[in-house]
Every structure is written in C-alpha cells, then in structure tokens.
C-alpha cells in the first residue's frame, strides 16, 4: 500500500525497446529478440543516456526489453530488475499478425476495433482499463522504489503511449519510436511533464544528470 506522505523527487527514463522483426505486426506478449537493426540501435541509445547517473534499471520480462536494458546496464554497471507488470498489452489471437491478416481473419471485428479504438480489446486480449491500471500501478511502484533516485524503465510502445496519453494527457500525436527515450519526474505522488531525450544530450537541463569533463 502506498503512503500518503510526500515522497522525494524521483526521475524515470522511459525507454522503448529497440527494433524487432515483428515491426508492423501485433507483437504484444510474444517474445521475439531484437533484430540486426535493433542491435545496431543500442550504441546510440546508450550514448543518449551517457550523461545520466542512474540508481536503478527496470525492464519488462520479455526478451526484446531485456536485451535493450542489458546494453544500458553494461554501460552503467547496474543490475536489471525484471518486472512482468511492464509487459506490452496482450493482443490475444491477433498476436503475430499484421493488419491485413487481421482483416482477412475477421473483417467485422476488425472494423469494430477501429471504430471503438482503444476501448475494444483484440479477441482474447487485454482490456484497456486493466492495462491502464496495470501500467499506472507499475509506474507508481517504481517511483516509490526509486525514492529520489533516477531509474531507467525499459518497456514497450503501448505501455509508454498508454502512460503518456491516458494518464498524462499528452494527446494523440505522441510518437514512440523504437529505442526512443523520455524523461519524467515524480514528486509528492504527482507526475511531471514527459520530455523526449535526443542526441546529443544536454546534461545541464536534467535533474539527475551529472556533468562530465
């Protein structure tokens, strides 16, 4: 149970895993590794985060996120704490399919899904409200665990979009590319503004970064 007292300012760096061969498909909770393109993205991702002084690294338990987190952890000499709660939304019977295959399988339900997006789950998949609740609880728990530190959270596109759009109200235009990363603060049980981290970085503007020679 979370306490009601004010907590110190924590910083979370949300990272989407690097590219996989499942790009363009409903990947969900199936478990492909990073592609050659994804592995090639890891050095630049690590460089983006080079100016940070991390206290924790968290990752979804799926292979693509653990590979991405491992590259960051190796550079910062930190262990990775793996959390099932950071998994992508489950797409049920659509997992592994592209949109053309989904439409061919069940055009009526596919159209309903579009008409009611994002409130209608894929067949046999995870509903929006349980997914929202799972992600909010996971992020709140991580912020509490960090307690004034700075943590990397390596997760999935749907997780980051849901957290930013449905919980932080960033709007429908939010872009979430492979190996993208964003900073957000948490203080007194309140979340701050999500800011994308670009290359090159600017250490002086981020609370948990350290100046380097």
Q: For the stretch 108-146, what's the b/e string if a residue is b when 16 or more beta carbons lie within 10 angstroms of its beta carbon? A: ebbeebeeeebeebbeebbebeebbebbeebbeebbeeb
Active site residue 17: yes
Active site residue 81: no
Confidence (pLDDT) at 211: 28
Domains of the chain: 10-90+139-205 (3.40.50.1240), 91-125 (no CATH)
pLDDT band at 36 (very low <50, low <70, confident <90, very high): very high
Check residues 20 and 211 and name the one with the higher pLDDT: 20
pLDDT band at 213 (very low <50, low <70, confident <90, very high): very low
Q: Is the predicted pLDDT of residue 79 greater than 90, yes or no? A: yes
Q: Is the predicted pLDDT of residue 193 greater than 90, yes or no? A: no
**Catalytic pick from 19, 88, 156, 183?**
88
Confidence (pLDDT) at 209: 41
**Catalytic pick from 17, 19, 56, 156?**
17
17-21, 80-84, 115-119 — which is least confidently predicted?
115-119
């Amino acid at each position: 149970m979370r306490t009601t007292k004010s907590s110190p300012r924590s910083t979370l760096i949300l990272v989407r895993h690097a590219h996989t061969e499942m790009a363009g498909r409903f990947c969900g909770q199936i478990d492909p590794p990073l592609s050659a393109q994804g592995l090639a993205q890891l050095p630049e991702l690590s460089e983006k985060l080079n100016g940070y002084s991390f206290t924790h690294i968290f990752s979804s338990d799926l292979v693509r996120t653990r590979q991405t987190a491992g590259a960051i952890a190796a550079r910062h000499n930190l262990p990775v704490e793996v959390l099932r709660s950071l998994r992508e939304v489950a797409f049920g019977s659509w997992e592994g399919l592209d949109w053309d295959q989904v439409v061919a399988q069940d055009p009526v339900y596919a159209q309903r899904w579009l008409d009611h997006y994002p409130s209608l789950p894929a067949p046999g998949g995870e509903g929006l409200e349980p997914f929202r609740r799972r992600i909010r609880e996971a992020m709140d728990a991580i912020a509490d665990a960090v307690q004034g530190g700075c943590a990397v959270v390596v997760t999935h596109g749907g997780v980051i979009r849901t957290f930013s759009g449905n919980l932080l109200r960033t709007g429908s235009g939010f872009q979430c590319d492979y190996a993208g990363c964003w900073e957000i603060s948490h203080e007194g049980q309140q979340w701050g503004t999500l800011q994308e981290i670009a290359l090159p970085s600017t250490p002086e503007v981020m609370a948990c970064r350290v100046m380097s020679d």
